[in-house]
Structures are given as structure tokens and as C-alpha cells.
Structure 1
Amino acid sequence: MKKIVLLLVLGVSISAFSQKKDKTLVTIDGEKTTVSEFKRVYEKNLDAIDNKEAKSVSKNLDLYINYKLKVKEAYSIHLDTLPSYKREMETYKNQLSAPYLQDTTFIDQLVKDAYFRTKNQVKAKHILLRLPREASPKDTLMLYNKILELRERILKGEKFEAIAAQYSEDKSAQDDPKTGRKGNGGNLGYFAAFNMVYPFEVAAYNTKVGEISMPFRTQFGYHIMQVDDLKESKGEIEAAHILIRDTTAVGKLKIDSIYTKLKNKEKFEDLAMQYSEDPGSKKNGGKLGKFGTGRMVKPFDDAVFALENINDFSKPFKTRFGWHIAKLLKKHPIQSFDEMKKELKEKVKKSSRMQLSEKAVVNKLKKEYTITEFEEAKKILNKKNLTALPIDSLQSTILRINDKNITQEAFIKYIRNRRHLAVFKLFEMFEEEEILTYYKENLIYTEPEYAYTLKEYEDGLLLFELMQEKIWTKSSSDTIGLQKFFDTHTTNYKTTDLKSIKGQVINDYQNFLEENWIADLRKKSKIKVSKKELKKLINFYKNK
């Protein structure tokens, strides 16, 4: 019987979206099902039906009526109030509504941008002034003005690298007197799409070569950036390396001796397995897999991407990890947009830039909705220890979206586990989340397909709970009833040993219980089928 349940789950529909002129096919206790609703159910199930008899319109209408009666029974005994049911529905709603919270036009543009930034790599240097996540507007403005002053000094002739070494809070830009390591002056080398946090990537590709950007903000703080070059990417490569960690003269002698062996035609893979001190790659001959520019430290990138031919190997070179020799194994040039579109779309969807798509939806909704902030109620934002305020003092409306009032209490609940951010920022986030919540709550009125699908799942889940309670659990636990059924129907089986065919008997017993149950449900309900509309339907599908 579970198969029938699952088949019918695919077909339940909602009268709210029926056409006004649509004729009524069946009425169950006053609830009408239109012809188009049943057609939607029937046609959706046709592909799953493999014989002519099962495709009978009349038989499918009977099954549909049985289905509606079961769902009605599930609601009448309040299965929709079960905590497990509510949790399952909330999870499904979030999954089902997710595509509606994305701006497809915006995503398409993100994919096109990602392709350009994959095909072309940018070389840049930056200065970072870190900003705490909970910084106040006053502190934020002070830091912005400070980095703006640094920009002005560079524009007036001071060297970017010198300012970076002195002021940047990216440690790689600074000299390290303890180790003697020379800072990079903010130089990041070449990078491409998905190598940096998204706001940094945007700034890099929007700044012209030779120019210095205006200050921009990322999760780390404020930056300014100078773009040094933009060129076509070499794509990705596969490479191997041999690493000697000792950076002293002893390590140099060792790497030089390995280099001599390579020039004398000894195998790179064998030497890597014998001498390399990179435990992650030495076992497989030094292989590092596939990577693009920006994935490795700059000296390594420079050395390996300078190799022209497959199987070429570099001279020994030094990084902060030690001495290396690198070998080029394979090249992966950038493919066409059509070839990369699917892969890039997946990358975009998994990246932080997808938040911008959701932001685009919020911005559209802000223009469509009437949104009111209540300044008097917002004064609680200035109070200390907000979460300690008594609930009965938080019942004023702080935000209204169309006709929905949202209280101060809802805001306090929202910020309870987000206290690391400034309260004004939390209110912005709260408002955007409430806008999206309102949008999701109203999807059943604005998106018919969403409403149909949600109702299908909702009723199907209820029906599963109902069948579990009324039929499946009872048939397997009611040993006396099962034995009685078997004794009464012994002539239907080839044996008198219940244990040997228990599975088959349980299935038959389930059918028996369900048939009796359905008969009782039909007796309790008033069912009226329009013979005229049913005949029209039968003729319609007969001639199709």
C-alpha cells in the first residue's frame, strides 16, 4: 500500500489556484475539487502508470477520493501539530523557497564576471587597516579617514611599498626583524576569480592598471589597492616538487646536488620520494595536483608558471618553506565560456558572492513593500544589556512590513546569539531577514507552483504519519489480528505455516485493514461526483 501512497503524494493540489470558470468534479463534505485540479493529478501520474486498466480515469478518481479522505482524517486528528511534522515542514519550506530567494539575472551576471576573472588574472598590492567587527560608526569613519590619508600620501609621490611596510596590518607586508624575512610591501602577485574574498576581487578588477583604488571594506577591515597588471591567464597546471626545508647553506648544497642528479637524467619522481621533505607529496613522486595562480606562495607561482614545456623542471629556488625544485606535468588552458559555465555557476553558488544575489532580492522587495521603522520603539537600541530587558516591556512595534507588525521582542530574540556585532548593524540584518521571512510566508499566494509543491509535500507527510499509525504499525504489532486474518483466508495460501509466509500475509492484512478503513471513511463523509464532468473527462482522454 505504500506505493499507492507515494504515487498519490505526487498529485495533491490546492483549490485556491483553480480557475474561476473551472467546473467542479467532486465534492467531499463541502470541499470542492475542480476538473483542472484532478487533471493535474491524473496527468502527473500517467508516466508512472504502466498498464491500460490502471490508467482508467474512474479508478484514478476513486484513488484520489480515498487520498483526500485520508488527508482530511489526518488533519481531524491533528497530526499536523506533531513537533516532528513541524520540524520536517520547516526544513522543507527552507529548501523549497531557496530558489525564489535568488535573483537569476544577477547570478547570470556573477557567472559572466567569474569567467572574465578566470580568463584574466590581475596583479595587485594592497594596504590593510584592520577593523573590529563590532566597531562603531565613529571608529569606522576614523579608520576610513586614516587609510584615505595614506592614499593621498601615495598619490603625492610616496612609494606604495614603503607605506605598506610601515602601516599595513597585513603582516606579510612588513619586514620581520626576528627571522630576517623581508616583507612583500603589500605585493600579492597575480590572482584570479575565487582566490580572494569577493569584495577584494571586485576592487581588483574594477581598478585600472596603474591606479590606486578608493578605500574599500572587506571582513578584515579597510584596504587601498594599486593594480600593476592585468593579463590573460595561463589557466591551471599540474606540477610536482622536491622540498628541502633547511634554508641554510647546508640546505642549498643538498638541493643543488639533487638538481645535478636531475640534469644527469635521474628520474624526478624517484628523487622526490627519496629526498623531498614534503610529507604530503613525496609518496606520490612530489605531485601537487592541479592549481592556478594565487594558490601557492608567490616565489613558487613565479617559478612553476615560468616553465614552458611539459616535463621541464626549474632551477632550485627559495620560499619561506625552504628550497624547491618544481616540475611541470600538465597544462590546463582556460576553456570557453560555454564549457565552463556549469562549473562556474556551481562555484558561484557555493561562494560568499551568493549573498549578494539574496541582497539583490531584498533590495527589490524594499521597493515593492511598504516598510516602516518606528523610531520611538528603536530607542531601545541605545540601551545597554538589551537582552536583560523584561519581555512585557518589549511589545511595541519596531518594524512593519506591509500589514505585518514586528515587535521589539522579536528583535531581542534575533540578537541574542549575535552580540559580537554593533547593534545598529544587527538591526539592519534583522530588518533584511524579516523582509525575506515575509516574502517566504507569502510565496503560497504569489507563486502557484511553489504552493502546489508545498501542499503536495505537506499532505504527503501527513498521510505517511497517518498510515504509520492506522495501518503499518498495527499490521506488524497486532499478532492476534494477523493470526485471525490468516486463519480466515487460509485458502488463499499454499501453506498453513504463517511464519514461512509472514511477509506476504502482513502485506495482505495491510490491504484488508486499509480497505475497511476507507469504507468507514466513505460512510462518514458526503461525497458527490459530477457524472457529467466525469464523462467529459473520460471522453477527453479516450480521444487524446
Structure 2
Amino acid sequence: MKKLILLVVLCFSSVLFSQKKSKVLLTIDGEKITVSDFKRVYEKNLDAIDNEDAKDVEKNLDLYINYKLKVKEAYHIKLDTLPSYRKEIETYKNQLSAPYMQDTVFINKLVKDAYFRTKNEVKAKHILIKTPKSLTPKDTLLAYQKITEIRNRVLNGEDFEIVARETSEDPSARDDAKSGRKGNNGNLGYFSAFRMLYSFETAAYNTKVGEVSKPFRTRYGYHILKVDAFRTSKGEVEVAHILLNDKGAKGEELINDIYKKLQADEQFKALARKYSDDTGTKTKGGKLRKFGTGVMVKPFEEVAFSLQKEGEYSKPFKTRFGWHILQLTKKHPVLSFKELEKELKNKVRSGDRAQLSKDAVIHKLKNKYSISENEEAKRIFDRKDIKTMSKDSMQAIILSINDKKITQEEFFGFLKSKRNKPVFEIFNEFKNREILAYYKENLEKTEPEFAEVLQEYRDGLLLFELMQQKIWEKSSKDTLGLKSFFDANLSKYQPKELKKIKGEVINDYQNFLEKNWIADLRRKSVIQVEKRQLKKIIKAYSSK
């Protein structure tokens, strides 16, 4: 019941940003409520009303007045100052403001790009020159010069794979003598959206087949890549497998025996449970989660995607993990954009692409706001004794965003939480954070829809707390009052005993308490309804 009441409460919240030209319909203790205020909540409630009597305009106006009186009372007894209320409002405000921190148009573009890259796979190889974690402009320049020289070697005719084996600082490019692992010469195989860092993925999809990309940077360092092929995605597959870790003759002999048993119509699941060395899947008959290209080792992936019919199994094959036999469980082609849109949007918003959307918002705000940096105040952070300086010596304004002034001390607090980055880079991060923070702080002033919804939640939560105190707790804890109410209405409940119909009596008692409470609130308030405006509203809705 309480949840239902809160839902109704939210529907009956008034709008702060009503149309200025709307006529006044109602005045409660001097507070003017316009026709458009009431019409908005009335029309919202129409969707939840399933009978004509409940659609009556005057009855809805009475309910609206009751609601306004309750909210007014909640503010009067300062329920909005409760720590629990403030904490919940702050949590909700953060949730509600989150979409405003991203550029919706930009997000939609990223989602469409992600779908294209889900439907199409690219095959590439790369060379990496690492940059240190504590990066200086000099480190950046040296790494860039080095990768540029390597790129020139490839452009001048040297084989990309040979150059990758010689120069790439990605360990997987070279042979590993200790483990006996063969290097991949920079080859990454096929991959699609969300398999790589976004900047790497974008460089691959923006490079034509056979061409070498320009140098680009990720958090690992500078890369170049060469695109070998481009194809329509194979989607994903589900397979079950039998794995034997023994890579020698005994392992080969046993895997061939298992294959013969399969050919003799023994069940794959039973054989997986009996023989597989993969402890994570053998109890499930060898079943693996569905996967796409670029997830498994290349031989495993090639065999899995070569199987065509559900139930079909492969011949024994070998990878660096041992001997395998696979059985196809199901193929999953790439779904339509409409079917994938929600999933892709969630991935975009939760992955490294989200920062691009946030950057787009920041870029717009930089053009909109008056922002100034105090270069003199910034120089203090070049001092070697900065960590020992007192807070009093860090009170100069270092950054201004419209009317907001930010001190050196505030930046110093941010700086202490960051390591291994030059100060100029950290300051840019700080500035961007402060721009977004300023935007968020002022959302109620700049975004009417945000303000309306937030105010609805504020009022709804207050009324929930008020009803809890005035009605719900009283009806359940005031046993004498409940008994007195039951005795006063015996004719309605006889011949039943109170304990047997306590739930029904409590509900009636709550309605009784609320009715008396509302009557008291109305007696203490001055309520004026503009009859002319009310008649116009009734006429407008009766003609529809």
C-alpha cells in the first residue's frame, strides 16, 4: 500500500517551471497554482485511471489540494532536514543527473558505429612502443619519433611481421624461450567491437585493407597497425569440448579413442564428464559460454566456427593447451540493430567510449561558459617544496568558471590523488572535472525537466515520510486507538473478532485518521479556487 501511495504522490507533484502566462486556478495560503500546473498532473493521472467517475475534474482537484496541503505540512515540520532524507535525495539526484553528463546525440552515433563494427570484423597486426607510467613531454616525443621511424621502414618496403618481431615492445610479438611460446609477429587475428581499446579499434576500422595506420596512442604507448582483411562477422558460437592436457603420444592415443567412441554413437556429454581435463566444464558435459572471434586461441576458434550443424563434432585437434574435440551446440548470428541497440548502448555507456561522450559535453560547456585560468597561481605547483606548503599559502584563485572561484588548495587536493602524470595534464583533468561539477550543481537552473522530476521526487519522498509518521505508524502501534475505532464500528465488523480481521480494520483506521487529518489541515489553511478557470477546465475535458 505504501509503495502505491508513493507512486500516486509522484503523479500529483506540482511543477515549478509552469508556463508564465498560465492563469491561476488555485491559491493555498498565498501560494499560487496555475491551470497548467493542475492540467499537467491531471493528464498524467488519466493514464492510470480506468473508470469514468475517477476522472471527475473536481474530485481530482480535491485530491490535488489534499496533496499540496500534506507537502506543505512536511516542509513546515522540517522533514526535509532529516539526514536520511537528504542522503536519499542526493543519491537520486546523482542518478537523475547521470544522463545529462553525456551527449545523447554523440552516444547514438557511437552506438551506430559499434553496430557496424559488430557486424563486420577486421584482421590486423600491430607494433607497440611503450611509454612509461610517469610520462613527461620528452617521453612522449621519443616514443612518437621511434614509432614514426618504424612506420617509415614498413612504408619503404620492409616486411611488417619481421619489423614487428624486431621492434615491437608487445611481448606476444616475439618468441618466449622460457615457455616455448611462439611469437605472433604482431598478428592479432580478426576482432570486432569492444574487443580492443576504443582508440585501437577505431584506428583499425579507419585504416584501409593493406595500408598502415598513422601512429596513434593508447594508455600502453604508441602503435601502428596494418589491416590485412575485412569481412562480415561470423557472430558467436556455443560449443562443448573435451580437453586432454597431455600433448604427447598418450594424449593423442586417448583422444583418438574418444573420437572412435563418438563415432560409435556414445554421448558427447558423457565422454566429456568421463575424460575431459577441463574441471570447469566437464560436469556440464564440456559446455562453454558463447564466444566470438578473437576470444579463443586461433586453432580452437577456426574449428569452432567451421562446424555447421548443431550436434556436429570435430575431429581431434591440438592447441598449446592440449588435445581437443568440439561439438557445436548453437550458432548465434549478429542480431538486427533494433534487437542489439539496448545492449550496445549499455556497453557504450559503461566502457571507454563513455569518456568521449563526456568530453563532447565538456567541449560544449567550454564554449558556453566563461572560463579563466590564473597562470601565476598555477606556477606554485612547479615548486619542489609544494608538499610541505601550508594551506594558507594556497588560497589564490587558480580557476574561474562563470561565478565559481576555485583555489589552489582545491587543485592540490586533486593533485595528491594523482600519480605518474605531469602537472599540466592533471590540471586539465581537474578543469574538466570542475566544469562538469559546475554544470551538475546548476542543473536545476538550466534544465527545467530535470528540476521538475527532482522536485517531484523531493515532495514524494517527504510525503512518504509524513504518512509514515502521521498515519501508518500510528495505525499499527496505537493499539488502544485501533481497539476504540473497532468498538465504535462494531456494526460493520460483527460477528468477527478484531484479531481475525485486524488487517481490514487497520486499513479502515488509516483512512479514518487521514480523513480527520486532512480536515484539520484544511481548517488551518486559506484555500481559494478560481471558479471561472475551473469551469473552463471541466468544459474542455468533457468535450474530449
Aligned to 1:354: 354
Residue deviations 1:69-111, cap 9 Å, x none?
2212222222222222122112212222223333232222222
Give the AA of the match of 1:280. G
Query: Partners of 1:486 and 1:307 in 2: how far apart?
Result: 74
Deviates more, 1:337-346 or 1:53-62: 337-346
Deviates more, 1:529-538 or 1:158-167: 158-167
> CA contact under 8 A between 1:26 and 1:34: conserved in structure 2?
yes
Contact 1:128 1:223 in 2 (8 A): yes
Summarize the Cα distance change of 1:529–1:264 in structure 2 as closer, same or farther, 3 Å threshold: closer
Code of the residue aligned with 1:219 in structure 2: it is: R
Q: Which residue of 2 aligns with 1:54?
A: 54
Structure 1 unaligned segments of length 5 or more: list them. none
Query: Does structure 2 retain, via aligned residues, the 8 Å contact 1:25–1:533?
Result: yes
Residues 482 and 268 (structure 1 numbering): CA distance in 2 closer, same or farther, change over 3 Å? closer
2:443 paired residue number: 443
Alpha-carbon distance change, 309 to 27 in structure 1, aligned in 2, over 3 angstroms: closer
Structure-2 residue corresponding to 1:31: 31
Relative to structure 1, the CA distance from residue 87 to residue 259 in structure 2 (aligned partners, 3 Å threshold; closer, same or farther) is same
Alpha-carbon offset, residue 34 of structure 1? 0.3
Tell me how far 1:386 sits from its aligned partner. 6.0
Distance 2:529 2:315 in 1: 87
For 2:229, the equivalent position in structure 1 comes to 229
Partner of 2:8: 7
Counterpart-to-counterpart distance in 2, 1:511 and 1:262: 72
Is the Cα–Cα contact under 8 Å of residues 172 and 183 in structure 1 kept in the other structure? Answer: yes
Q: Are 2:522 and 1:527 aligned?
A: no
Cα-to-partner distance string for 1:229-288 (whole Å, 9 max, x where unaligned): 212222222333322112233333333444455566655444433322122333344332
TM-score when scaled to structure 2?
A: 0.90
Give the Cα–Cα distance (whole angstroms) in 2 for the partners of residues 432 and 269 of structure 1: 55
Pairing of 1:221-260 with structure 2 (within 5 A): 221-260=221-260
Cα distance in 2, alignment partners of residues 199 and 213 from structure 1: 12
Residue identity opposite 2:464 in structure 1: F
Name the residue aligned to 2:425: 425
> After the TM superposition, which of the residue ranges 178-187 and 411-420 deviates more from structure 2?
411-420
Tell me, yes or no, if the aligned pair for 1:490 and 1:496 is still in contact at 8 Å: no
- Quick one: which amino acid aligns to residue 72 of structure 1? K
Q: Following TM superposition, by how much is the alpha carbon of 1:189 offset from its aligned partner in structure 2, in angstroms?
A: 1.1
Per-residue deviation at 1:201?
A: 0.9
Q: Is 2:335 the counterpart of 1:373?
A: no
In the other structure, the counterpart of 1:515 is: 515
Between stretches 171-180 and 47-56, larger displacement belongs to 47-56
Secondary structure of residue in 2 paired with 1:288: coil
User: In 2, distance between residues paired with 1:75 and 1:416?
Assistant: 41
Greater CA drift, 182-191 or 280-289: 280-289
Report deviation, 1:40. 0.7
The amino acid across from 1:302 in the alignment is E
Residue 461 of structure 2: aligned partner: 461
Deviates more, 1:120-129 or 1:391-400: 391-400
The alpha-carbon deviation at position 345 of structure 1 amounts to: 3.3
Residue type matched to 1:22 in 2?
S
- The offset of 1:37, in angstroms, is 0.4
Query: For 1:116-265, what aligned pairs fall within 5 Å after superposition?
Result: 116-262=116-262
What SS does structure 2 have at the residue aligned with 1:434? helix
In the superposition, relative to structure 1, how do residues 325 and 537 fare at CA in structure 2: closer, same or farther (>3 Å)?
A: same
Matched residue, 1:96:
96
Other structure's SS at 2:241 match: strand
Distance 1:396 1:495 in 2: 80
**Aligned AA for 2:21?**
K
SS at match of 1:291: coil
The structural deviation recorded for 1:532 is: 1.6
1:510 partner SS: helix
With the length of structure 1 as denominator, give the TM-score of the two structures: 0.90
Q: Is the 8 A contact 2:131 2:143 kept in 1?
A: yes
Q: Partner amino acid for 1:37?
A: D
- Kindly provide the amino acid, as one letter, of the partner of residue 47 in structure 1: D
Deviation at 1:25, TM superposition (A): 0.8
d(CA) in 2 for partners of 1:211 and 1:45? 61
Deviation larger for 284-293 or 527-536: 284-293
Change (3 A) 1:420 1:465: farther
What residue identity is the alignment partner of 1:361? V
Amino acid at match of 2:50: D
Output one character per residue of 1:157-186: Cα deviation in whole Å (capped at 9) or x when no partner: 443333333443322222111222211111
Q: 1:156: Cα distance to partner?
A: 3.5
Shift of 1:307: 4.4
Instruction: State the Cα distance separating 1:432 from its structure 2 match.
Output: 1.9
Residue equivalent to 1:283:
283
> 2-side partners of 1:78 and 1:393: how far apart?
40
- Range with greater deviation from structure 2 (478-487 or 184-193): 478-487
User: d(CA) in 2 for partners of 1:509 and 1:384?
Assistant: 72
Alpha-carbon distance in structure 2 between the residues aligned to 1:30 and 1:392: 48
Q: Structure 2: which 5+ residue stretches go unaligned?
A: none
Tell me the alpha carbon deviations over residues 331-352 of structure 1, each in whole angstroms, 9 at most, x when there is no partner: 3333444454444334333432
The amino acid of 2:538's aligned partner reads I
Report the Cα distance in structure 1 between the residues aligned to 2:143 and 2:491, rounded to whole angstroms: 89
Aligned residue identity for 2:317: F
Amino acid at match of 1:205: Y
Q: Any idea what the Cα deviations from partners look like across 1:187-214, whole Å, max 9, x if unmatched?
A: 1111111211211111111122222222
Equivalent-residue separation in structure 2 for 1:510 and 1:435 (angstroms): 49
Q: Distance in 2 between matches of 1:438 and 1:214?
A: 37
Q: Are residues 391 and 148 of structure 1, via their aligned partners in 2, closer, same or farther at CA, if it must alter by over 3 Å?
A: same
Contact 1:175/1:183 (8 A) holds in 2: yes
The separation in 2 between residues aligned to 1:398 and 1:32, in whole angstroms, is 44
Does 64-73 or 31-40 show the bigger shift? Answer: 64-73
Distance in 2 separating the partners of 1:420 and 1:250: 52
Matched-pair contact (CA < 8 Å) for 2:6–2:461: no
Q: Is the 8 A contact 1:381 1:424 kept in 2?
A: no
1:132 and 1:71 map into 2 onto residues whose CA distance is: 58
Query: C-alpha distance in 2, partners of 1:180/1:196?
Result: 26
- 1:45 is aligned to 2:56: no
Q: Within 2, Cα distance between the matches of 1:84 and 1:69? A: 23
* Contact 1:8/1:64, CA 8 A, preserved across alignment: no
**The 10-residue stretch of structure 1 (386-395 or 32-41) with the greater mean CA deviation from structure 2:** 386-395
SS for the counterpart of 1:537 is: helix
Shift of 1:505: 3.2
**Identity rate, percent:** 63
Whole-Å Cα distance in 1 between the matches of residues 361 and 24 of structure 2? 38
Deviation at 1:426, TM superposition (A): 2.9
Q: Which range moved further: 103-112 or 335-344?
A: 335-344
Give the 3 Å change call, closer, same or farther, for CA 499–380 of structure 1 in structure 2: farther
Q: Is the deviation greater in 40-49 or in 392-401?
A: 392-401
Q: Name the Cα RMSD after superposition.
A: 2.8
| Secondary structure, aligned partner of 1:290 | coil
